[in-house]
Every structure is written in C-alpha cells, then in structure tokens.
Chain A
Amino acid sequence: MVMDTIRKMLGGDRGGDEITCMEALEQIYDFMDGELEAADSAAVQKHFEVCTACYPHLKMEENFRRKVQSAMARAGTPTGLRDRVLTLLDEGESEGEAPE
C-alpha cells in the first residue's frame, strides 16, 4: 500500500497516470468531446474502464448523446432545398451586377 502510494507520487511504473474518481468525472465531457491531450485522455479512459462506480456514468452520458444525435438526424432536409438555394445564388449573382 505504502509502496503503491510512493510509486504513484513519483509517477513511476506507469502508476503516474492513475487518476481519482473525482478527476475522471471532472473531465468526463472534455474526454467525450475529444478535448483532452492523448495522455490525459488515455488516463481518463483507463479509469472508466476499470472503475465500476464511474463506468455507468460514462455509459449514461453516451446513451444521452446518442439519443440527441438520433433525434436530430431524423429531421431531414426538405426536398428541393438544394435546388432552391442554387437558384437563389443565380439571382444573387444577377443582383450583384446591378449598380448600387
């Protein structure tokens, strides 16, 4: 136990990348949003993989995000919008030719 703590404090033996539950939860959105440096991201990921207390928390956030994404994906672009936009650009071009 004491040796583990010392090893962690010294950051040796790859024990230095271990983080606490609080640190993992604090960074949960940074982690999910891909905003962490590779080493930090790996440390957070490792924590969620091995910590039974934090793991469901990550799953819940992931389920929530998936739901938001799938709900948003259902709203399809109206038929013909692309053509209407392109037509509008043509008109915009001819308007641009007219003097002020």
Chain B
Amino acid sequence: MADSPDRRAAFEAEAVPHLDAVYRFALRLAGSPDAAEDLVQETYLRAYRAWEQFTPGTNAKSWLFTICRNVFLRQRERGQRHQEIVERESPRELAQGVGNLVNPIWSSTNDQDPEGQFFDSIVDDEVLRAIDALPEEYRTAVVLSDVEGLPYQEIAEMMGVPVGTVKSRLFRGRRQLQKVLHDFAVEMGYIEQRSSEVG
C-alpha cells in the first residue's frame, strides 16, 4: 500500500526544513561534501521509513542528528579503526582548581589581546580543519552546542551519555579547539607567544 499523502506532507513539513542543519553536521562528521551528501541522503531515507517513531512535538532536528550520527558511526565501524578518547567522566575534576578554571589561552594573551579578538583574524577553513581534527565525541558535542544551540539534555540523549559527560566533552573540545587556533594565530603572527611556561 502506498504511503499516505499526509505522512509525506508531515515529513516534508517537519524534517525537510532541517536539511541545511543536517548537512552542516554531516559535513563535519564525514569530512568531504560527497561523503556528507551520501550521509544526508541515507539519514533522510531512514528517517522517512522510521517516521512513525518520531514523537510529534519533540525536536525533529535532534532526532535527525541522532539518525545521522548513528549512520555515520555504523559506517565508520565498518571502515578503519578510529582513535578512542580517554574519558575521565568527572565534571567536578574539570572544575577543580583555579588553574583549570582560568583558560590557558587567556593567560597567554591577556596583556596583548584580552578579549580574544585574534579569533576573528583566523580564516574559516583553518577553523573547520581544527574542528575536524577533534575526536568525534568532542566534535559532535561542540557543533551541536555552539552551532546548533541544542541543550545539554538533548545532546546527552542523542549521544547516549549522561549530561555530565556532555559537559566534560564540551569543556575539553572547546579548550582543545582554542589551543589549536591560538597556536595557529601565533604561527601567523596575529599574536605573540607569551607563555609563562616558556620563560
């Protein structure tokens, strides 16, 4: 029996408008535009077939991201091995000690660029390269929070981990990304290296 026009209309109204966001996410997961497009197509096909499992009134974007990531992870399992991250899942540990609270990037730039304006000088491609170099667990958390603005709870459900783990992944992912961009800015001469560890 053919699918009802209502089903198709509902899917087009609720899922298809998120195509840009899903593609943005897929591109960061898959790495290349071709692979991202394949991933998006597979995501939408699966989502459409599983449309009855979507709970109306919940965030369709999160639901699509979940499918997209699951498809990607399954494909990756079949492909080459990936580097597992070592997670010590304690947000308390992250917050302990002022040394950890004060961003090391900030300590290095506070006398020349206290508000981190050097980030603006960095070309977009370099930022994207740095994002892509993050372990997938950090990359997904950072993209979903910083770019898509999803709440911790939704990211946690999507990734199948507790909220504390999401916070820890965001913390580590952001700091790692900032360090790479900071080092790039130093290399390019946008800012000077002023690390206390050096002197």
Contact = CB atoms under 8 A, between A and B. Distances in A.
Interface of A: 22, 25-26, 29-30, 33-35, 56-57, 59-61, 63-78, 81-82, 84-86, 88-89, 92-93, 96-97
Contact of A86 (B16, B147, B170, B181): B16
Interface stretch (B42-50, B55-63, B76-84): B42-50
B133 interface: no
Interface of B: 1-3, 8, 11-12, 16, 19-20, 23-24, 27-28, 33, 37, 40-41, 44-45, 48-49, 95, 98, 101-103, 105-106, 109-110, 114-117, 119-120, 122, 124-125, 127-128, 131, 142-143, 145-147, 149, 151-152, 167, 170-171, 174, 177-178, 181
Given A56-B115, A84-B41, A35 B106 contact: no
B101 A67 contact: no
Given A82-B16, A88-B45, A89-B45, A72 B24 contact: yes
14 contacts: A22-B101, A26-B101, A56-B106, A60-B114, A64-B178, A67-B181, A72-B147, A75-B27, A75-B128, A81-B19, A85-B41, A89-B48, A92-B45, A97-B2
